[in-house]
Amino acid sequence: MIKINVDQGLCLGCGSCEACAPEVFELDTKDFKAKVKKGNERLAEASLELSPEQIEKVKEAEGNCPDKAIKME
């Protein structure tokens, strides 16, 4: 399991993470902060089972986030 956190205070709502990994991130249209997708839930932090390909995409999203709001462990 990979734990992914989007710091809601840091997120600028640019949408870059959703563009990189749309199966993992979604920009919340209410508060314009990115959330982690887990089933039907949209969460600031979630633990997910990801394929190696998805992990690479999340790493890319983490690296590209302009405000370093994404953490994964």
Using CB under 6 A as the criterion, which residues of the chain lie in contact with ligand SF4 when the complex forms? 6, 11-17, 27, 34, 65-67, 69-70
22-59 burial, b for 16+ CB within 10 Å, e for fewer? eebbbbeeeeebbbbbeeeebebebebebeeeebebbe
CB of 55 to ligand SF4, least distance (A): 17
Cα–Cα–Cα angle for 21, 70, 54, rounded to 5 degrees: 30
CB of 1 to ligand SF4, least distance (A): 20
Residue with Cβ nearer ligand SF4 (6 or 48): 6
CB of 52 to ligand SF4, least distance (A): 21
